[in-house]
Amino acid sequence: MVLAARGAPWAWALCAITLAARVSVGLATSLAVLHDRQALKNIFLLPVRDLIAPLVWVASLAGHQIHWRGDVFTLKNGRLARVPRGTPP
């Protein structure tokens, strides 16, 4: 956005407001809902996570297996099917 506006002051202001809102929502969620007291220590990682999340989402479209809590599932005919343990991937 800042690049598209060629560094206009309003774009920088909007970017700062957006970042402040994202950090405040992240802190509120961490502290009030999750009761995570280390949220302040790791808050600088929040923008990094927001930048990486779309890449992870796009990469997830390439596979057909899901690893969930120690179990492996595969997608067959639009449904999840558990892969028996010991079966090669």
Per-residue model confidence as pLDDT tens digits over 28-45:
999 999 998 888 898 889
Query: Given a cut of 80, is residue 86 above it in pLDDT?
Result: no
Percent of the chain with pLDDT over 70: 96
For residue 47, give its domain range. 9-82
- Backbone dihedral region of 36: left (phi > 0), alpha (psi from -120 to 50 degrees) or beta? beta
Rounded to an integer, the average pLDDT of 49-73 is: 89
- Identify whether 67 is part of a domain: yes
- Identify whether 4 is part of a domain: no
The per-residue pLDDT for 58 is: 94
- Identify whether 34 is part of a domain: yes
- Identify whether 2 is part of a domain: no
- Identify whether 26 is part of a domain: yes
Rounded to an integer, the average pLDDT of 56-71 is: 87
- Identify whether 51 is part of a domain: yes
Q: Write down the residue that tokens 């390439």 correspond to.
A: 62
- Identify whether 3 is part of a domain: no
d(CA 89, CA 83): 9
Q: Average model confidence (pLDDT) for the chain?
A: 88
Q: Where are the alpha helices (DSSP H) in 46-89?
A: 46-60
Q: Where are the alpha helices (DSSP H) in 9-45?
A: 9-28
CA atoms within 13 Å, Cβ hemisphere of 75? 8
The per-residue pLDDT for 89 is: 58
Total count of domains within the chain: 1
